[in-house]
Amino acid sequence: MIAEHLDDPEDGFGLQQAVLEEVASGGRGPTALAWTSSPYLGVTRSETLLPGFGEAARTAESLGIPILVRNSGGGAVAANEGSISFSLTFPVRDLRHGLYERYTEGVDLVASALQRLGVPAEGGEVEGEFCPGAHSVRSGGPRGVKHAGLAQRVTRRAARLEALILVAQTEELVRVLQTFYGTLGLPFRPDSIGDLPATVPRDPPGLAAIFAALTRGYPEKRKREVAIRGTILGAVILLIFAFAGDALLGALGIGLPAFRTAGGILLFLLSLDMIFASPTGLRSRTVREQEEISYEHDVSVFPLAIPLIAGPGAITTVLLYTGGRDLAGTAVFVGVLLAVLLITLVALLLASRIMRLFGETGSNVLTRVLGVLLAALAVQFVFDGLESILA
């Protein structure tokens, strides 16, 4: 069960509590909740007893942020439309067992999800973090950025593992947390939280190497045309998903897992050509014949534009960053996206010069090695898609 955006954050906390009680009574099985809401500051009951809490609460509320008291332990958390609240509630038989195992599994789950978006996430504490604890998801080590925090609520018959994941719009949260923790005299490092890095499209150097292998034998003019056309098509696809992605996928009834699986199968077939292809003609082709063949085998649409530039990971990131944002926020993200695409185009245009450094034999070896890597990437696409479908 997923509750999408909630205008009142108290509805989210109330829904989680209602689900916990239903699961504990046996009226409901294991349940997952995911929701976003308007801004709030969630404090713990122990914090409400601290000297200076009243002043800290009034200061936070002066910023337009309502105060909510949550049942979980730890410390104060802040969230807004750029944050995702996620919880898993399931029945338990023995309160004495499984507590730390659930924390470990939850951290691994969130970290794995972020890693698929290109974030080098791991479990561990962050210096000066909000709601300090051992069960945080971070990147950049102990002095890095906290992306998510986990907590548990356990009753006699059920347990709820919950996570707050900070995706975007964290500038507002920094101000609120800095004010609240500062008023209470508690440590908080402002740069301990931040937006998830935009990881679209695939890294330009790696993409350039694959592009060089795919267009080997093309005339230089043709390579430039393919690079420019593929980048433009990839940009158009990503921009469409930025402004109308959710509506488009919903209208077609297509999920991203199916998209990822199909793209992986097609990429795998292409990788086989890169690994095993060899010229079999009795005579060498003229330059004109080679040019005609290259036009027939146009890689600008597939696989360059999609899925290498506008692949499932890039599209997922675009949907994640633009969903629920106003026009100004979307415009900023689109500006970053276009800058990355421009860097990608430059890398593609320079790819042939890099390949010339390897020579003929080196190029043959590199083409087949990259074909194997592309096959592995394709298989991973299929595995990820099937895992999401079967989950």
For residue 127, what pLDDT is reported? 93
Enumerate residues 6+ apart whose C-beta is below 8 A from 230. 211, 299, 300, 301, 304, 305, 309, 348
**Is pLDDT of 286 > 50?**
no
The answer to whether 136 and 120 have CB atoms below 8 angstroms apart is no
Query: Which of 131, 163, 165, 208 is flagged as catalytic?
Result: 131
Query: What pLDDT is attached to residue 74?
Result: 78
- Give how far the C-alpha of residue 45 lies from the chain's centroid of Cα atoms, to the nearest Å: 33
pLDDT tens, position by position, 212-262: 777 877 888 888 899 999 999 999 998 888 888 767 767 777 766 776 677
Rounded to the nearest integer, the mean pLDDT of the chain is: 79
For the residues 21-30, what does the mean pLDDT come to?
90
- Which tokens hold the place of 248? 């488009």
**In the chain, where the domains are located:** 5-192, 204-390
Give per-residue pLDDT as tens, 74-123. 789 999 988 988 888 989 887 667 888 888 888 988 888 787 666 788 99
Of the chain, the percentage scoring pLDDT greater than 90 comes to: 21
Q: How confident is the model at residue 295 (pLDDT cuts 50, 70, 90)?
A: very low
- Burial label for 250, CB within 10 Å (0-12, 13-18, 19+), is exposed
Strands 136-139 and 145-154, by their bridges, are antiparallel
Three-state DSSP class for 192?
helix
* 131 part of the active site: yes
What is the CATH number assigned to the segment(s) 5-192?
A: 3.30.930.10
Kind and range of the H or E run holding 144: none
Q: What's residue 179's pLDDT?
A: 92
Choose from 20-24, 30-34, 274-278, 292-296 the range with maximum mean pLDDT: 20-24
Partners of 79 in the beta sheet? 40
List the one residue out of 73, 311, 83 whose CA is nearest residue 193.
83
Conformational region of residue 187, where left means phi above 0, alpha means psi within -120 to 50, and beta covers everything else: beta
Instruction: Determine the Cα–Cα distance for residues 265 and 3; give it in Å rounded to an integer.
Output: 33
Predicted confidence (pLDDT) at residue 73 exceeds the cutoff of 50: yes
pLDDT score of 312 more than 70: no
pLDDT of residue 193: 92
Q: Which of 181, 174, 136 is nearest to 39 (CA)?
A: 174
Across 201-298, the runs of DSSP E, i.e. the strands, are none
The pair of structure tokens assigned to 331 is 């415009």
Note the pLDDT tens digit of each residue in 152-185: 888 888 999 999 999 888 888 999 999 999 999 9
